[in-house]
Chain A
Amino acid sequence: MSKNSSSGNGNGSNASKAPATAGWPLWEAFVRSSRGLSHVHAGSLHAPDAEMALSNARDLYTRRNEGVSLWVVRSTDILASDPDRKDAMFESPKGKDYRHATYYTESEGVKHL
């Protein structure tokens, strides 16, 4: 809800009291650049509701045919991992080189393997 009830009659006196977004939620926009590719994070924007977020995301992030599909999601609905606990979070694959094909060197020189 807008915090200001000014009717915008142009007298300029209360311009600084009418907030630009009045605390509108933040949305993250994801753009699919062409069929067969994933949606990729393009950036964020403020909008009062999902429909406006989608419409604004189109104007802001696809002005040059950047996409064939667009997603928006409320930033607060994204659960993110803690950067300070990055090491513990991503520890499991470390030291497990055997998960990569390059670990197996005995077969070097064998064709089509």
Chain B
Amino acid sequence: MAEQNSTDGHSGHLAAVQSPDEAEGQRRFDQVIADDSRIEPRDWMPEAYRKALTRQMGQHAHSEIIGMQPEANWITRAPSLKRKSILMAKVQDEAGHGLYLYSATETLGTDRDTLNDQLISGRAKYSSIFNYPARTWADMGAIGWLVDGAAIANQVPLCRASYGPYGRAMVRICKEESFHQRQGFEILLTLSRGTEAQKKMAQDAINRFYAPSLMMFGPSDADSPNSKQSMAWNVKRFSNDDLRQRFVGMIVEQVKVLGLTLPDPELRYDEESGTWIHMELDWDEFKRVLRGGGPCNAQRMARRREAHEEGAWVREAAAAYADRQLAAETDKERVA
């Protein structure tokens, strides 16, 4: 975004006492948040806000980029030309979503190469869900329905995040994402109406992705240290548990249409508290996968590095061509 060229809000962030300029900046920032308005790149913002958003948006971008892998893996084996086209469009969308988010993150003052390096060197995290393998074609259905479904439930409120570029990126992403969930649901529906083996394959995919998709909302509010501050800044609008509740309520109904079941014997609606009671989620597993101990972490990272490296000659050729064009233009001007 054009605004980012003069991002220089880093000065003086180490000072314990705010200068008069910073105090004025803080006052304006607080007012914008209180008015539920938007912060734009060149506005003064607290260093902690800048840092937290850079982390969140960067992780979000990385997740979109890594998220291409489980599905790209099935493009060559999609059961029909139609499904193949759909899957390619979806994977292309994920790349686009990563790029929207990288651009938005850059407006906070961290450049693209740094962000990319953070992912490739393993210093940055991405959503733990992409470290699970996509074993069967039905997984394309379960990923679309459950994983993209959970992502949408998370992302729709982010369209109103207080940081303008983040919100704008999310609006575009959410608009495009809705087809992802529907195509996944349709894959499962088709399988569920097929042979016994196909129906079983669909149920098996749901069984494997149910709990990991519920964990995509993050730990319970009590164990989520950043949630409170994020909500005070109007970045996060609903708690992890609230969003998870909303998601469970939706898929409970949707799974009936599929004629399949959710693998959760404890699942019930508690009239008294007005909440869904679901199985205990394995947060140790969640943390282990996030730290790199999931079934596919090493594979995903290796593939990402390989793709980056294999693209080096393209980047070099494009840069050399741009240089030559520039030189030719300069020569022309000199002659004229």
- Is B234 in the interface zone, CB < 8 Å from A? no
A2 CA to B313 CA in the complex, in Å? 10
Interface segment, B92-100, B155-163, B244-252, B268-276? B92-100
Given A4-B312, A15-B120, A75-B1, does the pair A20, B113 have CB atoms closer than 8 Å? yes
Interface segment, A6-14, A96-104, A105-113? A6-14
- Is B267 in the interface zone, CB < 8 Å from A? no
Interface segment, B183-191, B281-289, B302-310? B302-310
Contact assessment for B103 and A15 in the assembled complex, using a CB-CB cutoff below 8 Å = no
A76 CA to B168 CA in the complex, in Å? 21
Tally chain B residues at the interface, Cβ within 8 Å: 47
Given A8-B311, A22-B113, does the pair A49, B321 have CB atoms closer than 8 Å? yes
Contact assessment for B3 and A19 in the assembled complex, using a CB-CB cutoff below 8 Å = no
Which of B4, B112, B168 is the one whose CB lies under 8 Å from A75? B4
Which of A16, A48, A59 is the one whose CB lies under 8 Å from B321? A48
Which of A2, A76, A82 is the one whose CB lies under 8 Å from B316? A2
Contact assessment for A12 and B319 in the assembled complex, using a CB-CB cutoff below 8 Å = no
Pick from A2, A60, A63, A78 the residue with the most CB of B within 10 Å.
A2
- Is B226 in the interface zone, CB < 8 Å from A? no
Tally chain A residues at the interface, Cβ within 8 Å: 40
A16 CA to B113 CA in the complex, in Å? 10
A-facing mask of B101-121, CB < 8 A → 1, else 0?
Answer: 001001000011100110011
A21: min CB distance to chain B, Å? 5
- Is B16 in the interface zone, CB < 8 Å from A? no
Given A12-B305, A16-B120, A20-B112, does the pair A7, B313 have CB atoms closer than 8 Å? yes
Which of A44, A48, A76 is the one whose CB lies under 8 Å from B318? A48
Contact assessment for A1 and B2 in the assembled complex, using a CB-CB cutoff below 8 Å = no
Contact assessment for A18 and B310 in the assembled complex, using a CB-CB cutoff below 8 Å = no
Which of A7, A48, A82 is the one whose CB lies under 8 Å from B319? A48
B64: min CB distance to chain A, Å? 13
A7 CA to B198 CA in the complex, in Å? 46
Given A1-B319, A48-B319, A52-B318, does the pair A20, B1 have CB atoms closer than 8 Å? no
Which of A19, A44, A78, A83 is the one whose CB lies under 8 Å from B42? A83
A64 CA to B175 CA in the complex, in Å? 11
Given A63-B92, A75-B4, does the pair A44, B113 have CB atoms closer than 8 Å? no
For residue B123, which residue of chain A has the nearest CB? Answer: A16
- Is B81 in the interface zone, CB < 8 Å from A? no
For residue B6, which residue of chain A has the nearest CB? Answer: A80
User: Which residues in B have some Cβ–Cβ distance to A below 8 Å?
Assistant: 1-6, 40, 42-43, 89, 92-93, 96, 99-100, 103, 106, 111-113, 116-117, 120-121, 168-169, 172, 176, 302, 305-306, 308-313, 315-316, 318-323, 325-326
